[in-house]
Structure 1
């Protein structure tokens, strides 16, 4: 997984919250996080997650520029049920009931609404989400079915194959679309610490030499940048500019910024 994937989940959650019949019942990766705000009444919720990643490129290093991920939305009608454990403690658990006509309508409404929200040009979080997606592939939906009895449950799993922009390699400039998305996420108090951490990670590698950045991006040995014409400096003591000299007309001369061409060598005084 990448930090861009994490940003996509966060942006989708913020774009959807308050803009569907799920209201604030939208979460990232774990439905159990919703148990604290749910009641014993059935209510629609949305679970945002990213699953499979597929990268077809070869010899592109770990920060590949071509690949797809499965962006998924679980549309659910569920309730929070409280159980008593054997030692007397109360435990909240999410329960997804068998579907009926009313619940099916709720799922159909959610299926329409997530598409509208993530396409909304006036939703700042959705705009940042779209800016991080280079291409959208097939969209498919599956029903939640009891594998034993075959009963259908009030859950619809939507999977969208997308091609996200790639994480910048160490030392690379932060792309404007990623910078803008981080700035937008920082407006959410719950995400501010995560944004600071992500910016710190993206900043790593800026002190690398240019040939080292190429080596890191391509995940190669030090010999490869030299083959590409970006040779690393010779190993040994670092020599400062003021320690370098040259020979002009047989005399040793310090190399300085204000050396003028020698007329005897065809230059102008």
Structure 2
């Protein structure tokens, strides 16, 4: 299930970058973005307001046979944070304001920023004109629940306000490894968009797809179900003689004919 998790996270990051009040500081799986200090307060090393995106817990139940491609539900987590250290003095008014944002450096302004970015996240992910958002939506079959949690540090040092938005989503199954992707499918669109926008990541992600994309028929259905060779032959979706790729399958599919690959 690693491919769908990667695609889901990258699509969200790319869709959001530069499209919220946070600007370009959208982080992919930034480990330790929020730390708990010895006094119980929150700490971060970020020197500007940030939006971090993670894929967290996942659960799949009731998978057919030994189908390990099913992703089931995945938690996609957004963490928005801002610190009092990220303020400057307005030369005209003498009041503190958030650097680069123009908002007052007050607790109320911090909360407003978190609410604003929260709303912008939902707006971006449902934006029909955003190509990365469209890929994100095609990966997600259903939003199961949305949980929002507030974190804050209110010590004498720099204060930190943060918001966690946790989306539990039902995600499409991973494609078969090494399988060619149908033109127009979410996986082909994801690969093409990644190659254009993030070429430095594209080669790494290609390793998750496998090789160049061989046609796996007539073994597609066997891989989809995770069936043993004996089970596949008995059920009629594998050649009687695996050494002979031209052998006719009992179900009537002949090697070289239409693939049984899942979309």
Q: How does 1:3-42 map to 2 (within 5 A)?
A: 3-30=3-30
Report how many aligned residue pairs link the two structures: 212
- Paired residue for 2:68? 62
How far did residue 231 of structure 1 move? 4.1
In structure 2, relative to structure 1, the CA distance for the partners of 1:56 and 1:239 (3 Å cut) is: closer
Contact (CA 8 Å) 1:71, 1:160: kept in 2 or not?
yes
TM-aligned CA distance change 1:218 to 1:113, over 3 Å: same
Aligned residue number for residue 82 of structure 2? 77
CA drift of 1:206 comes to 2.8
Alpha carbons of 1:76 and 1:208: their partners in 2 closer, same or farther (altered >3 Å)?
Answer: same
Aligned residue for 2:49, secondary structure, equals strand
Separation of aligned partners in 2, 1:169 and 1:196 = 18
Question: Residue by residue, what CA displacement relative to the aligned partner does 1:34-88 show, whole Å, maximum 9, x if unpaired?
Answer: xxxxxx9964210011101110123242112x6110011001114889xxxxxxx
CA deviation map 1:91-141 (0-9, x unaligned): xxxxxxxx8212111111111111111111111111111111111111110
Relative to structure 2, which stretch is displaced further, 6-15 or 227-236? 227-236
1:188-207 residue pairs with structure 2 within 5 A?
A: 188=197, 191-204=198-211, 206=214
**Counterpart of 2:254?**
none
C-alpha deviation, 1:194, in angstroms: 2.6
CA distance in 1, matches of 2:114, 2:245: 69
How far is the alpha carbon of 1:240 from its aligned partner?
A: 9.2
1:2 and 1:29 mapped to 2: Cα distance?
14
The question of whether the paired residues in 1 share the 8 Å contact of 2:179 and 2:216 is answered with no
d(CA) in 1 for partners of 2:21, 2:221 = 48
Counterpart CA distance in 1 for 2:6 and 2:203 is 14
Gaps of 5+ in 1: 34-39, 82-98, 242-269
- 1:186 partner SS: helix
Higher strand share: 1
- Contact conserved, 2:83 with 2:160, CA < 8 A, in 1? no
Matching of residues 163-242 of structure 1 within 5 Å: 163-175=170-182, 176-188=185-197, 191-204=198-211, 206=214, 208=216, 210-211=218-219, 213-234=220-241
2:131 is aligned to 124
Q: Secondary structure at the match of 1:210?
A: coil
Q: Which has the larger radius of gyration?
A: 1
Q: Distance in 2 between matches of 1:235 and 1:119?
A: 47
- Structure 2 unaligned runs (5+)? 34-44, 87-105, 248-263
How far the C-alpha of 1:222 sits from its partner, in A, is 0.9
Q: Secondary structure at the match of 1:113?
A: helix
Map residues 234-253 of structure 1 onto 2, 5 A cutoff. 234=241
Separation of aligned partners in 2, 1:187 and 1:142 = 35
1:159 aligns to 2:166 (yes or no): yes
Q: How far does residue 210 in structure 1 lie from its aligned partner after superposition?
A: 1.4
Q: Measure, in 1, the Cα distance between the counterparts of 2:67 and 2:56.
A: 21
| TM-score, reference length from structure 1 | 0.67
